[in-house]
Chain A
Amino acid sequence: MIKVNGRDFPWEEGLTVTKLLEKKNYTFPSIVIKINDKTISEDQWEIMAIEDGDDVKAIHLITGG
């Protein structure tokens, strides 16, 4: 199990940032990703592995419709 924005989410082997975003259907174009408080640049999302127990923040930079 991992945390995504403070909520439990099932972990699986080979989970990367890109795969996580797909699973969550997070399609908004401006998202900041932090794993255990470390910012992950977008060019690392495909390869950055998420480990079991990680605390992931996917902060959507949108505050206005």
Chain B
Amino acid sequence: MNYNLKENHKLLTEFQYQPSKADKGYTNKSLYVNLSDNKIKEKEVTEMIKEKFIGGRGFGLWYLWNAVTPNTKWNDPENEIIISPGPVAGITQYPGSGKSLVVTLSPNTGTVVDSNVGGYFGPLLKFSGFDALEVQGKAENDVVVFIDGNKGIVTIEEAPEEAVDSHILAEQLTEIYSESEEDKKNISVVSAGTAAEHTTFGMLNFSFYDVRRKAVRLKQAGRGGIGTVLRDKKIKAVVVRFKGVKGDSNNPADFEKIAKTGVKLHKEICRLDDSQNRMRHNGTTFLAGIMNDYNLLPTENFRFGSHPDGKLLTAKEWIKYFDYNGKADGCWYGCTLGCAKVVCDFELTSGPYQGQKVVVDGPEYETIAAVGSNLGIFDKEYILEVNFYCDTYGIDTISFGTTTAFLMECYQNGIINKETTGGLELTFGNKEVALKLLHQMAKGEGFGKIAGLGIRKQKELFVKEYAADAEFLNDIGMECKGLEYAEYVSKESLVQQGGFGLANKGPQHDEAWLIFMDQVNNQLPTFEDKAEALHYFPMFRTWLGLVGMCKLVWNDIVPESNKDNEEPAKITEHVQNYVDLYNAVTGNNIDINGMLDQSEGVYQFQRVFNLRMGYGTREYDQVPYRSMGPVTLAEYQSLQEQYDAQLKELLGVEPEGKSSEEKMKLLRQYREGQYHKITDAVYERRGWTRNGIPTLETLKKFGMDFPELVEQVEKHQ
């Protein structure tokens, strides 16, 4: 059957090239594909680009900056999707070394967004001769872009017959473009799905072929609607084939150093993982129980942080479903932490694939919380089903969950009703309706079309169409900058409120996740401490996305010696590992401060990029009050003793004799004031004005004083 699929491809263009070998982590070429005029070309990656932008997210930001204007919208042809793996990506000696970063203008936020992802595509792209792929323009009909890194051929092919949903499409294309069963591991497919066509929060799947299970597996670049951009460009998939990955394919400067650093971590994982987070067994599901225990698990649209049924979602409940045979389940070669869990032969109970037995990748913690507890649903098989359908339909589980949670709270407050939802009873806990809504999104039908708009547009719509109270919707709608919140209750951690609100792309936890350091450990007592943490951690974590490394091997395994470190939260030994790897691959010689400087340059660039697109000032860093404190009486009363004590201790107010409403108002005034203070402190630490704009001195300090950036910030000084 698949042979016929290929026969029906129509070749639009073919580009031949001489694949460049990687040298010290870089091939020094990027690939540019334009779908509007079917032009393909190679570009030089200059020393300037490498020095200032390093790779990964940095390369994506630089190429996108040069592709768009301040007036470009996400669905304009000049918007690009850029995929770049970074210089360290593709080594096989150190766990977590196969990451790609994807950058585009986001349908959710209107400005630049980045999302990181595992799977084989990034490393295979590099070994095919390219440090980055830029795709611009729009095709007339559905196309596949195919890169054959061995033959040195790139094609754009109309592909009318293949499926759109990823679990089928990735299998079809893996079979079409591989030369044998043995060759399937050399294929990686980037695709979205049918729901990406009808929602603003479509995501990308990056495939890898699981040789042991003879199955195509999918990892996700979830945030910011990149899958929506992919389908808007009429791209069914981007496929890479490269045979010949070796341990030294990056041609590193110091292979011995990489091998030695890798062996040290492999031994550490083998020695300690079973007594720490058990990532090899649990994946990230271990967080669900922990978050529930510490009152941090979003429950019913972030109203609460815990639920008695949270115990049904703990890791020991999930491992019963996992197909785990004691060998590492990594999403790139050499990852002994192996957190990529899988459920095999899962029988679907709904939707177009009802009754079929499928492979489900995950679930990750974020998915469990987003589509489960945050909707008041604690049914594992429902979560697996939603996980599968979100993946194959190409939508982000976080945005789907957070959006549906918002809709459920709107429904329970009478803002929307059975009539406006077309009969869907969107009450917390209603799993059948959550699934129906998801299937509607895939078809672009019914209330699914409104659900697919995301929270920011829904708020505008509900105010306009249903005379909803805008202030209430702004309080409970968990989005910032247009991006839906990731799944952590931040009410009791001012630093985490800033970690979400002051992040460049919106409230995703991959910049700064500091709840335990702040709320539980109480290690950040002063505003100076808090601002320092909200400087160091975003800069460090941004760097991982420049070089192509995974965050999980930084702190989901912790060396014994770390407990004696003066700053245990930083896990400095592992940070030094990353620096050593970067130096060993590239031949550079930076230290941890040099690493942070590299990162900060790119971070400042991204902030100015936001400014250029009409955002990037203080007003866009404001967060919904639900992320700061109790919006409703029920929330206040659920932690009344704690809140009353805070009124006494922090405000010097005697709670006795005051109504709950009065106490809530006082608490709100205090917490909103605190958020402004942390905003000021962080801006100062990052070298920004009180309006959140990098100063000229800051740009100069990090070598980002390009005339076009200076022009942007001068307008606002």
Contacts of A26 in B (CB 8 A): 293, 520
Contact status A63-B571, CB under 8 Å: yes
8 A Cβ contacts from B512-537 to A: 513-517, 520-523, 525, 537
A60 to chain B, nearest CB (A): 5
8 A Cβ contacts from A45-60 to B: 57-60
Distance of A48 Cα from B514 Cα, bound (Å): 29
Distance of A64 Cα from B562 Cα, bound (Å): 16
Residue-wise, chain B 557-575 has the 8 Å CB interface mask toward A (1 for contact) of 0100011100011110000
Task: Say if the beta carbon of B468 comes within 8 Å of chain A.
Answer: no
Distance of A24 Cα from B576 Cα, bound (Å): 34
Contact status B289-A64, CB under 8 Å: no
Contacts of A64 in B (CB 8 A): 509, 513, 541, 551-552, 554-556
**Known interface pairs A39-B563, A60-B520. Does A29 touch B277 (Cβ–Cβ under 8 Å)?**
yes
Classify the interface of chain A: helix, strand, loop or mixed. Answer: loop
- What is the size, in residues, of chain A's interface with B at 8 Å between Cβ atoms? 20
Residue-wise, chain A 6-33 has the 8 Å CB interface mask toward B (1 for contact) of 1100000000000000000111111010
Q: Select A6's contact among B276, B522, B570, B571, beta carbons within 8 Å.
A: B522
Q: Select A7's contact among B522, B552, B562, B568, beta carbons within 8 Å.
A: B522
B110 to chain A, nearest CB (A): 26
Q: Select A25's contact among B293, B365, B521, B568, beta carbons within 8 Å.
A: B293
**Known interface pairs A59-B521, A63-B571, A64-B513. Does A30 touch B293 (Cβ–Cβ under 8 Å)?**
no
8 contacts across the A-B interface (CB closer than 8 A): A29-B275, A29-B278, A58-B521, A59-B521, A59-B523, A61-B558, A61-B571, A63-B571
Q: Select A63's contact among B277, B517, B522, beta carbons within 8 Å.
A: B517
Q: Select B276's contact among A5, A29, A32, beta carbons within 8 Å.
A: A29
**Known interface pairs A61-B562, A63-B537. Does A6 touch B525 (Cβ–Cβ under 8 Å)?**
yes
**Known interface pairs A6-B522, A29-B276, A39-B563. Does A63 touch B290 (Cβ–Cβ under 8 Å)?**
no
Contact status B522-A61, CB under 8 Å: no
Distance of A6 Cα from B519 Cα, bound (Å): 11
Contacts of B513 in A (CB 8 A): 63-65
Contact status B290-A28, CB under 8 Å: yes
B30 to chain A, nearest CB (A): 30
Contacts of B570 in A (CB 8 A): 63
Distance of A26 Cα from B289 Cα, bound (Å): 11
Contact status B568-A61, CB under 8 Å: yes
**Known interface pairs A29-B275, A29-B277, A32-B563. Does A63 touch B520 (Cβ–Cβ under 8 Å)?**
no
**Known interface pairs A7-B522, A25-B293. Does A63 touch B516 (Cβ–Cβ under 8 Å)?**
yes
Classify the interface of chain B: helix, strand, loop or mixed. Answer: helix
Task: Say if the beta carbon of B195 comes within 8 Å of chain A.
Answer: no
**Known interface pairs A5-B522, A65-B513. Does A59 touch B568 (Cβ–Cβ under 8 Å)?**
yes
Q: List 4 other contacts, CB 8 Å, given A61-B558, A61-B562.
A: A5-B520, A32-B563, A32-B568, A63-B517
Contact status B522-A27, CB under 8 Å: no
Write the chain B residue with the least CB distance to A61. Answer: B558
B287 to chain A, nearest CB (A): 6
**Known interface pairs A6-B522, A27-B290, A63-B516. Does A39 touch B277 (Cβ–Cβ under 8 Å)?**
no
**Known interface pairs A59-B523, A62-B516. Does A27 touch B276 (Cβ–Cβ under 8 Å)?**
no
Distance of A57 Cα from B563 Cα, bound (Å): 12
B96 to chain A, nearest CB (A): 12
Task: Say if the beta carbon of B466 comes within 8 Å of chain A.
Answer: no
Contact status A65-B287, CB under 8 Å: yes
A33 to chain B, nearest CB (A): 9
Contact status B514-A39, CB under 8 Å: no
A24 to chain B, nearest CB (A): 9
A15 to chain B, nearest CB (A): 19
Distance of A63 Cα from B3 Cα, bound (Å): 49
Contacts of A25 in B (CB 8 A): 293-294
**Known interface pairs A30-B276, A65-B365, A65-B488. Does A60 touch B521 (Cβ–Cβ under 8 Å)?**
yes
A37 to chain B, nearest CB (A): 12
B263 to chain A, nearest CB (A): 23
Distance of A64 Cα from B563 Cα, bound (Å): 17
Contacts of B365 in A (CB 8 A): 65
Write the chain B residue with the least CB distance to A7. Answer: B522
Contact status A60-B516, CB under 8 Å: yes
* Chain B CB within 10 Å, residue with most, of A30, A32, A63, A64: A63
A36 to chain B, nearest CB (A): 16
Distance of A59 Cα from B563 Cα, bound (Å): 9
* Chain B CB within 10 Å, residue with most, of A26, A58, A61, A65: A65
Distance of A25 Cα from B520 Cα, bound (Å): 11
